[in-house]
Copies of this chain bind each other. A is one copy, B any other.
Amino acid sequence: MSRPQPQKRATVHDIAAAAGMSRGTVSRVLNGGYVSAEARAAIEAAMSDLGYVPNNAARALKMRRSQAVAFVALEPHSLFLDDPNIGSIMLGANAALSLADHQMVSLVVESARDTERVARYLSGGFVDGAIVVSARTKDPIIRVISDLSLPAAFVGHPPDLDQTIPFVGIDNVGSARAITEHLVTTGRRRIGMIAAALDRDSGIDRLAGFRDALGPLFDDELVSDVPHYDYGSGVKGMRDLLEREPAIDGVFAASDAIAAGALEALREAGRSVPGDVGVVGFDDSTWAVRCQPQLTTVHQPAKEIGSCAAQLILRQLRGEHPDPGGQLLPTPLVLRDSA
């Protein structure tokens, strides 16, 4: 009955005409302002009659606000497929933005073509800010954002070049140190690490924490260096370690996925966990509980990270300047069965 004509969409103008009011008044019922009860009623009737839906492009043009925030995932091929946290971070960010009535839109940057297009998109007024995840030190997107002075927040350490962009993350060094110390405390002596993503701050920092905790026990030979935080890398890294040091009795895997892979390699080598070798991971992702044995690991508060990043943006949109230096969220150890 009240189905609108499908093709041409009703505008404020049409509503005004139908309701016998002026455009200004229509806009006022839309945005809140002085308007009489009768006027409001007539206009609302006209709106639902004609199936009015406001045109965001026009509104954004006028208001210079789109009520949308981008969630930019750099190199998602490895991200979405391997990182079980990215989904939770997104969901956390979305929830926080949703509460503030902002639309989160995620953009994927996979190719040079994408980079350029996303840069245009970010500068074009379709979004009011951007959450950037997994930035490498000199990503072109970052230039664009800082040139534009678009409100932004990084997830993870910010690239060196721009200290003006706030970030939210965890203390990778401290967490890695703590989980490694657990290995030491429980009596392990020949402790190795499967380090990953050494071109990213998270990777570098986890290795630093490991080295730190071990002190004199640290042995360069016992660090296997793999490219990604994924299962396959874990299998490979562990095989590598076993070959280099058959007497290894403890392993810190740079992520739970890697730890799961390590478990597989250990099983295939006939080592028991935690009997022969203690294994610890990082993330407390779904991997941790689907392993056998379940992983002792570092809990990463992914959802909170997402919502903090969102808050960082929202605060800037309100005109507040967030404290520089970023925000580090706590990362409790989770003790399970693998060490």
Q: Which positions in A face B, CB cutoff 8 Å?
A: 3-4, 6-7, 51, 53-61, 66, 68, 76-77, 80-81, 84, 86-88, 90-91, 94-95, 98-99, 101, 103-108, 110-111, 113-114, 117-118, 120-121, 123-126, 147-149, 231-232, 260-261, 264, 267, 286, 290, 292
Q: How far is the CB of A233 from chain B (nearest CB, A)?
A: 11
Closest residue of chain B to A111 (Cβ to Cβ) is B98
* Copies of this chain assembled into the complex: 2
Which residues of the partner chain B approach A106 to less than 8 Å between Cβ atoms?
105-108
Closest residue of chain B to A51 (Cβ to Cβ) is B147
Contacts A60-B57, A106-B105, A114-B94; is A80 near B76 (CB within 8 Å)? no
Which residues of the partner chain B approach A104 to less than 8 Å between Cβ atoms?
107-108
Which residues of the partner chain B approach A286 to less than 8 Å between Cβ atoms?
81, 231
Contacts A56-B121, A103-B118, A125-B57; is A94 near B110 (CB within 8 Å)? yes
Contacts A98-B117, A147-B3; is A54 near B126 (CB within 8 Å)? no
Q: Is the CB of A124 within 8 A of B80?
A: no
Contacts A125-B56, A147-B3, A264-B292; is A91 near B77 (CB within 8 Å)? yes
Instruction: Report the Cα distance A120→B51, complex, angstroms.
Output: 12
Instruction: Report the Cα distance A290→B231, complex, angstroms.
Output: 7
Q: Which of A87, A108, A147 has the most CB of B within 10 A?
A: A108
Q: How far is the CB of A322 from chain B (nearest CB, A)?
A: 18
7 contacts between A and B (CB under 8 A): A6-B147, A7-B149, A55-B124, A56-B126, A81-B88, A104-B107, A106-B108
Given contacts A53-B123, A57-B126, list 5 more A-B pairs with CB under 8 A.
A6-B149, A56-B121, A56-B124, A80-B90, A91-B108
Q: Is the CB of A113 within 8 A of B98?
A: yes
Q: Which 4 residue pairs are nearest across A and B when measured between Cβ atoms?
A: A56-B124, A80-B87, A105-B105, A57-B60
Which residues of the partner chain B approach A111 to less than 8 Å between Cβ atoms?
95, 98
- From B55, B87, B148, A61 is in contact (CB under 8 Å) with B55
Q: How far is the CB of A300 from chain B (nearest CB, A)?
A: 14
